[in-house]
Amino acid sequence: MPEQEQLPYVEVKQCLQTGLAAIAQQMETLKTLKVEAPGILSAWEDTLQPFASLKQSAPIFSRTMKYPSPSFPLRVFPHKRLAFWGAVGIGVVCSLQIAHVSQALPTPSVTKVDVAATVTGSSTPGGWKQPQLVRTLKGHKGAVDSLLFASDGRTLFSGGSYNDARIKVWNLQRGREAMTLRVHQTMVAALAMTPDGQTLVSGGTDYILNLWNLKTKQSSRIFLDHTSHVLALAISPDGKTLVSGGLDGIKLWDLQRQRPLSTLEDERHEVHALAISPSGQYLASGEDNGVVKLWDLASGQLLQTLPGHTGVVNSLTFTPDGTSLVSASRDATIKVWNSETGELLQTLTGHTNWVMDVEVNPNGRVLASAGRDAVRLWNLETGELINTLTEHADWVQSVAFSPDGQTLASGGSDTLIQVWQDGVLPPVK
């Protein structure tokens, strides 16, 4: 850990004061301040525990900043907790907590509090050039074929392979298994979660599509409409539509009424990958013949067919802004497409064997890919290979970024889940 140091605080003081003024009507009680630099200073509502349970949602205030502050007074409003922290960073540069309340006034007047800061990290941007392996999770008896972070970023779901058909739920703070969900008989090939974080959906090679109520920790519904392996899942941003893909095509489901809606592709088209654009307008599907298709999700109309891969398309993901679509294939390449025009923007080469999974960091600039040779990290803007992670002793089957982009998990055929963290990421524009 770097030595503690005193840093200039004028800019952050001004930034926080501006932020407090801008959101005065939305905040009530200040409990925790957490600042990371350089990058974007953002204000987030925090209705959970300080530090450990910050909500990962859209910030209600954001401003560019350069330095954290060692100490200064703030004026805040009572009755709600608020957290200030860098929207793009991993190492905590400055952690601020209320030392004491020096004066309390009735709502909607303000309360003056004194805040003390402790420097606990470096302010040098990392950009995933020096990721650190922080945990190795052990518990699966076979390959880890699917990974998914919960919206809080502290819980990870993992799906096991043929001889380990279980979904494990991991507490990443404690680095241990929290529970195991059992319903599948063979490989858990795909996982997805509703935007409200209440329902987990799993698909398996046993043809089963299962809905889990995460409050009760119980299976709430099992669909048996698929006649073959379920290999891919996607849920619309509004949480109303579930899309499942497999060796018998694509099926759409009404998640609210929990019933089937329609079929887009039949058994003549094996679908190995699915993704829905952030706007909810487009559905992308990847097939066994190397073709990527773009659909209008609402109408089911086929909009574009994107040829280019020479092997099965194993994974698809949209960039956070929805302008680009990334595809990964057994032809050992990753392709980046313009999601509006279908133009091929670039082809990333470097893997020496099948590319099993891809995911874009929420900052939109870093891409993680899982291959039979390693985990690779790419600069999505330039196509440059940033780093290669070779700690897995066997094929890497899956990768997943946490919602804040600060943590990367990778699952392998070696039965292990590796959890990585990095320094401050490039600022979000």
Share of residues in the chain with pLDDT > 90 (%): 50
Indicate if the pLDDT at residue 384 is higher than 60. Answer: yes
Section 175-185 average pLDDT: 89
Grade residue 221 by pLDDT with cuts at 50, 70 and 90.
confident
18-38 pLDDT per residue, tens: 444 433 333 333 333 333 333
Section 158-182 average pLDDT: 90
From residue 17, give the alpha-carbon distance in Å to each of 20, 37, 79, 80.
Answer: 5, 17, 19, 17
For residue 117, the model assigns a pLDDT of 30
Element (H, E) at 280: none
Sequence-separated (6 or more) residues with CB below 8 Å from residue 357? 314, 315, 328, 369, 370, 396, 397, 398, 399
The residues spanned by each domain of the chain are 10-119, 132-421
Maximum mean pLDDT: which of 130-144, 156-170, 242-256, 272-286: 272-286
Residue whose pair of structure tokens reads 């979904």 in the numeric block: 167
How far is the C-alpha of 211 from the C-alpha of 194, rounded, in Å?
A: 10
Cβ count within 10 A of residue 382: 10
Handedness of CA 335, 340, 341, 342 (dihedral sign): positive
**DSSP per residue, 228-254:** S-EEEEEE-TTS-EEEEEETTEEEEEE
| Contact (CB, 8 A) for 67 and 12 | yes
| Contact (CB, 8 A) for 292 and 325 | yes
Cβ count within 10 A of residue 105: 12
CATH 2.40.50.100 for domain 132-421, yes or no, is no
User: Which structure tokens are listed for 416?
Assistant: 């292990």
For residue 222, the model assigns a pLDDT of 82
For residue 422, the model assigns a pLDDT of 79
Grade residue 423 by pLDDT with cuts at 50, 70 and 90.
low
Residue whose pair of structure tokens reads 């804040």 in the numeric block: 404
Indicate if the pLDDT at residue 12 is higher than 90. Answer: no
Q: Please, what is the average pLDDT of the chain?
A: 74
Residue whose pair of structure tokens reads 């700690």 in the numeric block: 391
| Contact (CB, 8 A) for 185 and 224 | no
Sequence-separated (6 or more) residues with CB below 8 Å from residue 220? 199, 211, 212, 213, 258
240-283 pLDDT per residue, tens: 999 999 988 899 999 988 888 888 865 577 999 999 999 999 99
For residue 23, the model assigns a pLDDT of 39
How far is the C-alpha of 416 from the C-alpha of 395, rounded, in Å?
A: 11
User: Which structure tokens are listed for 216?
Assistant: 């009760």
Element (H, E) at 14: helix 10-22
Greater pLDDT, 413 or 96: 413
